[in-house]
């Protein structure tokens, strides 16, 4: 059995070296499917995949699609992007590495050390090419802004990393420079150090 398993793992590595040099992987167990149009590799037991600047670890990882472009993960999942200085932990993740799209449909925590932002929610859509994240369902976040820390919550949270722009929608509340704000929509412009509110506005300013 050990010899068969070793042969499967070697076969998997060989396939990856032909089709996509940038992918490397390791795991305790591996299952390979080679039927035309249905190719897939399932990694289990401390599974790890590295592609470009991204490292993904999970209990189980499934690679499929053209040029092994789709990566699906379950269990205890972590993804680290060393180039973006960003990390995520969750239990269910789908990553399209060709189109640079990442989806999560379970509770997750994200930390963006480059921009001093951390958040949690129950749904994530991340367009990595555009550097735009959309978080949904019970969003909680904190953001370092100079000497201050901004905290808040909402039902929806859109984050433009490149332009440092945050848009909250749905039962939003924010504590900003010691002042508290509530509205149906709140926009935080970190580059210009400003806050905009619309619909059902309430606030408390400590002067």
Domain identity same for 19 and 89: yes
Label residue 19 by pLDDT band (50, 70, 90): very low
How many other β-carbons are positioned within 10 Å of the β-carbon of residue 81? 18
Give the separation between CA 96 and CA 124, rounded to whole angstroms. 14
Give the separation between CA 190 and CA 166, rounded to whole angstroms. 8
H-assigned helices in 111-189: none
In this predicted structure, what is the pLDDT of residue 5? 39
Which of the listed residues 82, 106, 130 is the one where a domain comes to its end? 106
Give the separation between CA 55 and CA 34, rounded to whole angstroms. 25
Burial of 4 (0-12, 13-18, 19+ CB in 10 A): exposed
H-assigned helices in the chain: 2-19
Q: Once rounded to an integer, what is the mean pLDDT over residues 116-121?
A: 94
Domain identity same for 155 and 86: no
Q: Which of 29-38, 121-130, 136-145, 183-192 has the lowest mean pLDDT?
A: 29-38
How many other β-carbons are positioned within 10 Å of the β-carbon of residue 36? 5
Q: Once rounded to an integer, what is the mean pLDDT over residues 155-169?
A: 92
Q: What is the pTM of this model?
A: 0.81
- For the stretch 28-50, pLDDT in tens is 887 877 666 667 788 998 899 99
Give the separation between CA 74 and CA 182, rounded to whole angstroms. 36
Which of the listed residues 43, 77, 106 is the one where a domain comes to its end? 106
Label residue 64 by pLDDT band (50, 70, 90): confident
Q: How many domains does the chain have?
A: 2
Give the separation between CA 128 and CA 120, rounded to whole angstroms. 18
In this predicted structure, what is the pLDDT of residue 15? 40
Domain identity same for 60 and 25: yes
- For the stretch 70-117, pLDDT in tens is 999 999 999 999 999 999 999 999 999 989 999 999 999 999 999 999
Which of the listed residues 55, 90, 106 is the one where a domain comes to its end? 106
Domain identity same for 119 and 52: no
* Domain CATH code at residue 85: 2.60.450
Label residue 8 by pLDDT band (50, 70, 90): very low
Domain holding 115, by residue range, is 108-207
Supply the mean pLDDT for the chain: 84
Domain identity same for 94 and 157: no
């Amino acid at each position: 059995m050990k010899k068969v398993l070793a042969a499967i793992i070697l076969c998997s590595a060989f396939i990856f070296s032909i089709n996509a040099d940038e992918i490397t992987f390791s795991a305790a167990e591996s299952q390979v499917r080679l039927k035309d149009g249905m190719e897939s590799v399932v990694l289990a037991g401390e599974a790890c995949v590295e592609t470009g600047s991204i490292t993904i670890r999970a209990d189980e990882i499934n690679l499929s699609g053209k040029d092994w472009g789709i990566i699906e993960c379950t269990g205890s999942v972590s993804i680290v992007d060393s180039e973006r200085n960003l990390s995520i932990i969750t239990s269910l993740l789908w990553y399209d590495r060709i189109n640079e799209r990442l989806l999560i449909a379970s509770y997750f925590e994200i930390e963006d050390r480059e921009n001093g932002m951390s958040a949690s929610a129950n749904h994530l859509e991340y367009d990595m090419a555009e550097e735009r994240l959309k978080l949904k369902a019970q969003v909680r976040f904190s953001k370092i802004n100079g000497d201050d820390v901004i905290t808040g919550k909402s039902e929806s949270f859109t984050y433009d990393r490149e332009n440092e722009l945050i848009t909250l929608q749905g039962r939003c509340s924010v504590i900003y420079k010691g002042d508290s704000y509530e509205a149906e929509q709140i926009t935080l412009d970190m580059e210009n150090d400003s806050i905009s509110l619309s619909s059902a506005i309430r606030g408390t300013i400590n002067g």
